[in-house]
Structure 1
Amino acid sequence: MIILKSPDEIEKMREASLIVADVLDEIEKLIEPGITTEELDRFSENLIMKRGARPAFLGYLGYPKTLCTSINEQVVHGIPGPTKLKEGDIIGVDCGALLNGYFGDSARTYPVGRISDEASRLLCVTKEALFKGIKEMKEGNRLHDISAAIQNHVESAGFSVVRQFVGHGIGKKMHEPPSVPNYGTPHTGPLLEKGLVLALEPMVNAGDYNIEILDDGWTAVSKDRSLSAHFEHTVALTDQGYDILSLRM
């Protein structure tokens, strides 16, 4: 069942989401060749705790870290560790926080130094696709209007949207109904209503959309080992239209 949120609940979710936004802003300053994903993870855990929140991913279904750090062909759920970033890498960083009983969730993909033209275009298209989807989040639309907007933008650029992972509702639980695929038929799916809060998150491969899970049981990679990018925002539908809770204005 889709759980609609009150204005007060949405403000609580904004507080959690802005902690995540601040973490991702600070991580952007740290990303450079030579830093390890473990260092990024420790920094993020400390910052979340200092803000009075709890890392949402740490211990979730047994996940061992605060961040998901996914490099190059890694799609999502890469586990931080001793891996050092290299010039030309791209790294997707997914972060969540729990504050006063409510979750916030956001992700960005960053360049490490100078990256290839293809990688740069992939990041640009994926971020654009997220905002194309967000703009479809309005009363009277249906859920798959969001999905179709994302898919159309990605595929028109020659890339592919991952099918096996999707966006989701969010609130007192990190994953709530509905699931929000990044592909679909417009004018289908549940009607969008005021109070809906979604974590919208296109995951886009430069090649084929198929993925596989590595032996660690978490890390998803593109099956053809093409580059992959991931952007995510927590977004509420209010009287004023869509409201990006994980974006500090």
Structure 2
Amino acid sequence: MNCIKTDSEIKKMRTSGRLAAEVLEMIEKYIKPNMSTEDINQICHDFIVHEKKALSACLGYHGFPKSICTSVNDVVCHGIPNKKQILQEGDIINVDITIIKNNYHGDTSKMFFIGKKSILSQRLCKVAQESLYRALKIVQPGIPLYTIGETIQNYVEENDFSVVKEYCGHGIGRNFHEEPHVLHYKNKENNIILKKGMIFTIEPMINAGSPQVKCMKDGWTVKTKDRSLSAQYEHTILVTEYGCDILTYQKNEKISPKLVNKK
């Protein structure tokens, strides 16, 4: 499997990652009660296309109809923005951005709180973000890929939440989804050894209740089977000789953009 990027590819991926991160930084001030998820989609689309002179990777991908994914409350992933879906006080929403610039992709997502936060939603989002951070802190050349999933699953289950197993992180570059598959739970068959120059996403989806999910009739929207809340954070990362670089690093992250993990 040749998923190691060249220096010129890495340079382009740094640009794509930064642009994707800038979309999430930009949209934060707009996300408020009584706005629709279609409003969020339109603001992000205009920013990607007109301000950043980039493309949305989601728009038209296998027929996906919008430029971003907006997953509210019990939606795990791939929520379709809709002008009839109005955000309410107390909701949580994941905004998932993938852009294409100079033929290379940048992919990232994060959670936003709508107005007042409940104790459960606050704790769920904190654990989801921390599970991602803990995984990032172990990435370095020479480790097997499954240790990422093991780190995430152990931390999430210690906190009495569950990890969705049907969806995973992925290699990324000229294509939206490339090898390898990055599972968010322990599976020793997922034993590829990480090497300097690999670029992939880590994007754990964490449920407050059961890990089971179901796909809606639209063929995209995935919800928790028990209607419990779900949260997800995602970064695109580069394996470096010293650990990893977070290519989609955003302001106010509680972690460094360059992680030195090598013992």
1:203 counterpart (197, 202, 205): 205
CA distance in structure 2 between the aligned counterparts of 1:191 and 1:69, rounded to whole angstroms: 33
Per-residue Cα deviation, 1:117-163 (whole angstroms, up to 9, x for no partner): 01100000000000111112101111011111111111110000001
Q: Where does residue 30 of structure 2 map in the other structure?
A: 30
- Post-superposition offset of 1:65: 0.5
Across the aligned residues of Structure 1 and Structure 2, the Cα RMSD in angstroms comes to 1.3
**Structure 1 residue 7, shift from structure 2 partner:** 2.4
CA distance in 1, matches of 2:149, 2:222: 21
Q: How far apart in 1 are the matches of 2:34 and 2:129?
A: 26
| Deviations 1:74-131 (CA, angstroms, capped at 9, x unpaired) | 0000000111100000001111000101100000011111121011000000000001
Instruction: Tell me which residue corresponds to 2:253.
Output: none
Alignment correspondent of 2:39: 39
Counterpart amino acid of residue 146 in structure 1: I
Structural mapping, 1:61-210, within 5 Å: 61-82=62-83, 83-185=85-187, 189-210=191-212
Higher mean displacement: 179-188 or 226-235: 179-188
Indicate the SS of the match to 2:23: helix
> Any conservation in 2 of the 1:141–1:187 contact (CA below 8 Å)?
no
Deviating beyond 4 angstroms after TM superposition, the runs of 4 or more aligned structure 1 residues are 185-188
- Looking at structure 2, the residues matched to 30 and 7 of structure 1 have their Cα atoms a distance apart, in angstroms, of 36
Contact 1:68 1:78 in 2 (8 A): yes
Contact 1:147 1:186 in 2 (8 A): no
Classify 1:162/1:190 alpha carbon distance in 2 versus 1 (closer, same or farther; 3 Å): same
Letter in 1 for 2:158: S
Contact 1:18 1:245 in 2 (8 A): yes
TM-score (norm 1): 0.97
Aligned to 1:213: 215
Return 5+ residue gaps in structure 2 as ranges. Answer: 251-256, 258-263
Q: 2: CA distance between counterparts of 1:48 and 1:206? A: 32
CA distance in 2, matches of 1:197, 1:29: 30
Aligned residue for 2:12, secondary structure, equals: helix
Listed one character per residue, the Cα deviations across residues 35-93 of structure 1 (whole Å, up to 9, x for unaligned) are 11101001111111121110010000110001100000000000001111000000011
Aligned residues of 1:145 and 1:187 also touching (Cα < 8 A): no
**Residues 2, 178 of structure 1: 8 Å contact kept:** no
| Contact 2:71–2:78, Cα closer than 8 Å, also in 1 | yes
Task: Write the distance in 1 (CA, Å) between the matches of 2:79 and 2:21.
Answer: 19
Task: Return the alpha-carbon distance in structure 1 between the equivalents of residues 113 and 7 of structure 2.
Answer: 36
Q: 1:241 Cα deviation (Å)?
A: 2.0
Per-residue CA deviation, residues 164-192 of structure 1 (Å, 9 max, x unaligned), is 10010101101001101100146961000
The code of the aligned residue for 1:95 comes to I
Q: Is the 8 A contact 2:3 2:180 kept in 1?
A: no
Q: 1:233 to 1:19 in 2, by over 3 A?
A: same
| Partner SS state of residue 201, structure 2 | strand
